[in-house]
Amino acid sequence: MKAEITVNGAIRLGKYFVCDSHDPNRDVRVVTHAHVDHLLGLNESLNYSKLVVMTEATRDILEIMRGKLKGKIKAMKYNEELSWIDEKLTLYYADHIIGAAQVLIEDFEGNRLVYTGDFRLPKSPIIEADILVIEATYGKPELKRPPTDIIIDSFVRLVRKGLSLGPIHIFGFHGKLQEAMQILRDNNIDVPFIASSDKIYKITEICKKYGMHIGEILNKNSIKAREIIRGKEYVMFHHASTLRRARVDGIKIHLTGWEFRKIVWKISEKEYRVALSDHADFTQLLLYVASSKPKLVITDNYRVGFAKILAREIERRLGIKAIAMPSK
């Protein structure tokens, strides 16, 4: 096949390219973004692939997470083209985390092979494809959520109300945390922002470098941050993995795409879940497929999601052939 997903989570496109996992039989590895389920086998790729491609922002974030990258790396801009023998690669913007990219491969026969990576609409451009490989995180018909502006309004109101009672502690993954910072700044939340770890602080600085509107962010261990913490008027940002073990003074807000009961779910007087997602919901997934006009759709059945259900719904609702891969 001209496109497929292997049992190791590698998205093969054309004859020479592979995305988001290592494949020893492909020349060029593409890293669509800096989330762990898309970094499979990265060390092997850096050691053995002829070229490893990613955006500049993804490269910079990975060097914060993993140290200096060694290997034949090409950091590309959006819409930049790379020719490899008789095929051509182009990276396109994906609205997910900073630096995320969609991948288009055009082969010598003129076929357009597209991999969305993780994305959401409406900000991600929809790329026309002959074969479309699409994420399936929320590929189940029930997994629909209100428009993003309604979610943002609820989130901002929760933070503003919480700040009247004391500090706010926000938990999420890299990328989503920085999006939350920008949302709050854009909505005139001007209290100090504090990063709970060096990694969050450094990744935030990278996001600012590439244009995110966040303003000043303080490292928790700085003298200035320690003084502000004593004053109890601030927002602190924590990695989602620390949610259960973190002992904090104030209100906890967990940002998660897996909250579908309500936009804001009150767990207790001092803990909330907010349905802020950086993935397309079911409606957006179908809209992308319909607008891309592929002859074949491959849904990602390696990463977390509902690939088999999404493939079935694409065929039933849109009349487009769709298969979930790998077939596990």
Same domain membership, residue 268 and residue 287: no
- Per the structure block, which two tokens stand in for 163? 């700040």
- Classify strands 168-172 and 251-255 as parallel, antiparallel or unpaired: parallel
Bridge partners (DSSP) of residue 90 are 81, 104
Same domain membership, residue 12 and residue 80: yes
List pLDDT tens digits, range 151-170.
Answer: 999 999 999 999 999 999 99
Contact 70, 45 (CB under 8 A): no
The number of beta carbons lying within 10 Å of the beta carbon of residue 109 is: 9
Same domain membership, residue 259 and residue 318: no
Low-confidence ranges of the chain (pLDDT < 50): none
DSSP-derived 3-state class of residue 233: coil
The number of beta carbons lying within 10 Å of the beta carbon of residue 86 is: 12
At position 69, the amino acid (one-letter code) is L
* pLDDT confidence of residue 71: 86
Rounded distance, CA 181 to CA 196, Å? Answer: 13
Same domain membership, residue 267 and residue 284: no
- 203: alpha, beta or left? (left if phi > 0; alpha if psi -120 to 50): alpha
Same domain membership, residue 110 and residue 24: yes
Rounded distance, CA 116 to CA 94, Å? Answer: 8
For residue 30, give the nearest of 68, 109, 87, 86 by alpha carbon.
87
Same domain membership, residue 170 and residue 65: no
Q: Cα angle at 267 between 196 and 245, to 5 degrees?
A: 35
- Per the structure block, which two tokens stand in for 269? 């007087």
Same domain membership, residue 131 and residue 68: yes
Same domain membership, residue 132 and residue 33: yes
Name the residue range of residue 101's domain. Answer: 3-142+279-325
* pLDDT confidence of residue 247: 85
Same domain membership, residue 80 and residue 124: yes
Report how many domains make up the chain: 2
Where are the alpha helices (H) located in the chain, listed in sequence order? 42-48, 56-66, 148-163, 176-186, 198-209, 223-231, 282-292, 307-318
How does DSSP classify residue 222? S
Residues contacting residue 187 through CB under 8 Å, at least 6 positions apart = 152, 156
For residue 143, give the nearest of 254, 255, 258 by alpha carbon.
258
Q: Cα angle at 79 between 75 and 84, to 5 degrees?
A: 65
Rounded distance, CA 98 to CA 27, Å? Answer: 26
Same domain membership, residue 125 and residue 26: yes
How does DSSP classify residue 263? S
Q: What is the CATH number of the domain that holds 318?
A: 3.60.15.10
- Classify strands 271-274 and 217-219 as parallel, antiparallel or unpaired: unpaired
Q: What is the CATH number of the domain that holds 265?
A: 3.40.50.10890
The number of beta carbons lying within 10 Å of the beta carbon of residue 47 is: 12
Same domain membership, residue 154 and residue 133: no
Same domain membership, residue 294 and residue 176: no
Predicted TM-score (pTM) of the model is 0.95
* pLDDT confidence of residue 246: 87
